[in-house]
Amino acid sequence: MQILADDFWSGRGDTGVGRDRFVAAWAGKEGDWNELGAILDLGCVMRGKSAWSPSFGDQLYDQRKGYESLTSSLALPGAVVRSRPKDRAPVIARSNWLVLTELEESEPGWVGVTLTDGRKGFVKDAMMAATGMTLSFRKSNGRWVMTGMTSGD
């Protein structure tokens, strides 16, 4: 709360513009606060005088690694892609920031995915990077403040 800019803006329909509206909209939404923390853990990238988090969209797009922000997700380092949604199913790939396309159907606790090479498999939910929101920051009076948030497109 201490890092929110007074002119904070949000792309979420229920939040609008301004620090107070954001606070009111997010009161009691513990899961959303956890997601903000997870996004911050993924680092940021500078664009002009602003910092944006997470940074991997820019990094992977610049490197032409198959990441498309509207259709791609990332598996966290250490994630295992399995042939079926079972802990002991054969391993298809191990993640060091694997780019994945999520499939429509999967089992509870698992995400069905397609790798960039076309192979299909399953990753545990907890091993997917939080990608639903993007946060922006700027320096104000010598300290970084969160200026905005967009979620989904």
| Total domains present in the chain | 2
Position 115 confidence tier, pLDDT thresholds 50, 70, 90: confident
Decide if 61 is inside a domain.
no
pLDDT at position 21: 75
Q: Does residue 136 belong to any structural domain of this protein? A: yes
Q: How many CA atoms lie within 13 A of 52 on its CB side?
A: 15
Please state, in angstroms and rounded to a whole number, the distance separating the CA atoms of residues 71 and 55: 16
pTM over 0.85: no
Residue 121: inside a domain = yes
Residue 30 included in any domain: yes
Question: Is there a domain that residue 60 lies in?
Answer: no
Is the domain of 122 the same as that of 140? no
What is the tens place of the pLDDT at every residue in 55-107? 665 555 544 455 555 566 777 778 899 999 999 999 998 877 666 676 666 78
Phi-psi region at 64: left, alpha or beta (left = phi > 0; alpha = psi -120 to 50): left
Is it the case that residue 121 has pLDDT exceeding 80? yes
Range of the domain at 20: 4-54+132-151
Residue 54 predicted with pLDDT over 80: no
pLDDT at 89: 96
Reduced to 3 states (helix: H, G, I; strand: E, B; else coil), residue 63 is coil
Judge if 114 and 96 occupy the same domain. yes
As a whole number, mean pLDDT of residues 114-121 equals 83
Q: Looking at residue 139, what is its pLDDT? A: 93
- 59 lies in a domain? no
- Does residue 153 surpass a pLDDT of 50? no
Residues 70, 121 share a domain: yes
**Shared-domain flag, residues 37 and 10:** yes
Distances from the Cα of 68 to the Cα of 30, 46, 60, angstroms: 29, 19, 9
| 50 and 102 assigned to the same domain | no
Beta-carbon contacts of 102 under 8 Å, excluding residues fewer than 6 positions away, are 73, 111, 112, 113
Residue 35 lies in a domain: yes
Which whole number is the average pLDDT over 101-128? 81
What gap in Å lies between CA 153 and CA 151, rounded to an integer? Answer: 7
Give a yes or no: residue 46 inside a domain.
yes
Q: Tokens 């545990």 appear where? A: 124
Between the two ends of the chain, the Cα-to-Cα distance in Å is 25
Return the pLDDT at 85.
Answer: 93
118 and 70: one domain? yes
